[in-house]
């Protein structure tokens, strides 16, 4: 059976742009970026560099008090800007 990317969602997402910091403990990758949408169990984040599926990361709001451990479910290239 083929993998479905992006995965089928069981919850709706709310459009929400929030500045966040992503950090990987596995390879010391660090990026400040923003969310596109969020739900109770996840967020879609726009990044400059690709992140590996199943990579464990920390996510922190900038500025703010939100902090969570997470993992990358999928990463796909964004369409080229024209």
8-47 per-position pLDDT tens digit: 667 788 999 999 999 998 888 899 999 999 998 889 999 9
Q: Is-contact 51 44, C-beta < 8 A?
A: no
Q: What's residue 13's pLDDT?
A: 86
pTM: 0.74
- Residue ranges per structural domain of the chain: 14-71
């Amino acid at each position: 059976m083929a993998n479905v990317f992006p995965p089928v969602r069981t919850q709706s997402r709310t459009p929400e742009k929030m500045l966040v910091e992503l950090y990987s403990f596995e390879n010391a990758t660090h990026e400040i970026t923003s969310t596109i949408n969020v739900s109770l169990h996840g967020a879609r984040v726009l990044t400059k560099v690709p992140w590996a599926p199943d990579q464990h990361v920390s996510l922190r709001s900038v500025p703010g008090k939100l902090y969570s451990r997470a993992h990358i479910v999928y990463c796909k290239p964004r369409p080229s800007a024209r």
